Amino acid sequence: MNAWRDYLPDLKGALTSFYQEQVKDTLETKTSEFKRLIEKNLALNLRTQQALIAVAVGIFLLLALALF
């Protein structure tokens, strides 16, 4: 059985080196890029939500003024 191990390629080592050389840097770069985009999107959504609340309060006040 040990003789077969000598002839088989080192798949675990090959995958580890492939990950270290090519995938790891790209993965870390894309992760930080997506994190930045999500933070920017959350900030934009917060401003949009605040604007919608301000419009809703304004409409409510105008309707309340019209009723009284």
0.85 surpassed by pTM: no
Whether pLDDT at 52 is above 70: yes
How many whole angstroms separate alpha carbon 59 and alpha carbon 65?
A: 10
- pLDDT more than 90, % of the chain: 56
3-state SS class at 10: coil
Q: What is the CA 7 to chain-centroid distance, rounded?
A: 43
Tell me the C-alpha distance between 55 and 68, whole Å. 20
Q: What confidence score (pLDDT) does residue 3 get?
A: 62
Dig out the tokens for 63 from the structure: 């309707």
